[in-house]
Amino acid sequence: MTSEHCTIPKGIATIKQWNKTKGCGVAIIDGLDCFVNKSALRDLETEPEVGDKIIVYKYHKTMTGGRIDNGELATFVSSYTTTCTQTTENVHYSIGCSAAIVIIAVLAILAAVLIIR
């Protein structure tokens, strides 16, 4: 598998504002408010909503924050009914346990492949 065929996620963003009429909004990744247009989201089957997660493959910083250039809605996270809750500084994050395990496993395999190269 060559680098052209695999894309390693840069992180997970959360949509905090979305304008359905304009098809764009603001998502936060690593504390950075990023503009996102739905044209930057792969295989978009549903309209994004506030609170949705985006798997971010490419983004860049701008003078006013950032811009997500390539990502996809993480719809698989909401499909799991079992949730894990982690409390960090009075902030609660919930994610499907199975989805978290899959993400960790995929990232571990990708890291191993990159180290072997």
pTM over 0.85: no
> What does DSSP say about strands 83-88 and 65-73: parallel, antiparallel, or unpaired?
unpaired
CB-CB contact of 50 with 24 (8 Å): no
CB 66 within 8 A of CB 29: yes
Task: Give the integer Cα–Cα distance in Å for 37 and 42.
Answer: 11
User: Quick check: 99 and 81 in contact, CB under 8 A?
Assistant: no
| Domain covering 1-76 in this structure, CATH number | 2.40.50.140
Closest CA to 17 of 54, 41, 48, 62: 48
**One pLDDT digit (tens) per residue for the chain, 117 residues:** 334 445 677 889 999 999 999 999 999 998 899 999 999 998 888 889 999 999 999 999 999 899 999 999 986 544 333 333 333 333 444 445 556 667 777 887 887 778 876
**The residue count for the chain:** 117
